[in-house]
Structure 1
Amino acid sequence: MAEILSSSALNQLFREARSYNAFLDRPVSDDQLHQTWELMKMGPTSANQLPARIYWCKSDDAKKRLAGHASDGNKDKITGAPVCAILAMDEEFHEQLPWLFPHTDAKSWFEGDEEGRKESAFRNSTLQGAYLILAARAVGLDCGPMSGFDNQAVDADFFADQPAWKSNFICSIGYGDEKSIFERSPRPDFDRFNRIL
């Protein structure tokens, strides 16, 4: 039976975790990125679709290219981070279902249904993006997720050889600079946005 996580673990994942706008000059190792993937891939997706595809921009060149497609307010958030992940979705994820979901012919559910694949890829890659943030926090890293970039330009620059891959959002990763965050914005009590029926 699962146990409730310790208060310190809950603080690290949720209560005290923040979205950072700047990062310390401290490197993130490839091993930490592998650890993040090994955790995030375990999160549930519909029929184990796992449509997320990630490019981890670590080199100055890759980050500069990515920043060139971002809004002015996001450029420094990208280039100043040790890593910036491009979280994309594979709109032809169904081609992988024979081995990812071998229990039944799930590939046939999506063949010939391009719009259904796009919707499912977006929903499930977004879920995986949330898992990425929690997984990175779990291995001791901080995140700065963002939109505010030209998706089509990013796709053309980074995924030209994978035309079915479409960017969803980007996320800077590293060790957050406490000076870069604002006072936490309001979080509502349960009764404001919830109903138990």
Structure 2
Amino acid sequence: MALVLDPAAQDLLFREAHTANTFTEEPVTDEQVQAIYDLVKFGPTAFNQSPLRVTMLRTAESRARLLPHMAEGNRPKTSTAPLTAVLSYDLDFHERLPELFPHAPHIKDAFFSEEPVRESAASLNATLQAGYFLLGVRAAGLAAGPMTGFDPAGVDKEFFGDGRQHVLMVVNIGKPGPDAFAPRSPRLAYEDVVTVL
């Protein structure tokens, strides 16, 4: 076989996984969230920079702060999901680089002394980490409902008032509820995507 991951795991992470639009009331525990992070933190990023930050909205009060900034169609599922994660990138990620990349402590100043460079690196690498996060949620046997339908400036102001973090996506997390999944849409075929030189 071309893949060493067993077929059940392939189904869990990819083939049978869908974006969830409804959720049961079963809670997502802190232990599950910790296990997800402890798995996905090993996903590679440039210089191990790890700019992703995750703000978990568990209470009705915290969710109420988010809902006005969500697109209208995303509000009902966000208000009823057992847990919502606001995934953002930290513009000050470079301050932690000396401990994350200890054999080259000069990396922080050599590559990230200018803010436009930091912001580009933070956005790209946190987006990469967000993909790992979604796989981690699936690996925990949970469904993820990632969304980009929201007002980014409003979410940033509401949750990251100092301007040092910027939202990437909002992810509802939980066990899928009734009619949680839309039919699977087509995907591009291998020959439409892959070029071999």
- What is aligned with 2:165? 165
Aligned length: 194
Instruction: Give the fraction of aligned pairs with identical amino acids, expressed as a percent.
Output: 38
Distance 1:38 1:193 in 2: 32
Deviations 1:59-100 (A, max 9, x none): 111112111211101111211111110000011211110101
Letter aligned with residue 128 of structure 2: L
- What is aligned with 2:153? 152
Shift in Å, 1:106 = 0.9
Distance 1:111 1:188 in 2: 37
Q: Does 1:127 align with 2:133?
A: no
Distance 1:12 1:177 in 2: 17
Distance 1:111 1:121 in 2: 10
8 Å CA contact 1:94, 1:110 repeated in 2: no
Shift in Å, 1:110 = 3.5
8 Å CA contact 1:93, 1:121 repeated in 2: yes
Q: Which moved more, 1:108-117 or 1:74-83?
A: 108-117
Deviations 1:86-125 (A, max 9, x none): 0000112111101011111110134431111111101000
- What is aligned with 2:182? 182
8 Å CA contact 1:23, 1:82 repeated in 2: yes
Shift in Å, 1:25 = 1.4
Give the alignment's TM-score, normalised by structure 1.
0.94
Distance 1:155 1:117 in 2: 18
- What is aligned with 1:118? 119
Give the alignment's TM-score, normalised by structure 2.
0.94
Distance 1:180 1:134 in 2: 18
Task: List runs of 5+ in structure 2 lacking aligned partners.
Answer: none
8 Å CA contact 1:22, 1:180 repeated in 2: yes
Q: Which moved more, 1:141-150 or 1:61-70?
A: 61-70
Distance 1:111 1:46 in 2: 12
- C-alpha RMSD of the superposition: 1.2
Letter aligned with residue 95 of structure 1: E
| 4+ residue segments displaced more than 2 Å | 109-112
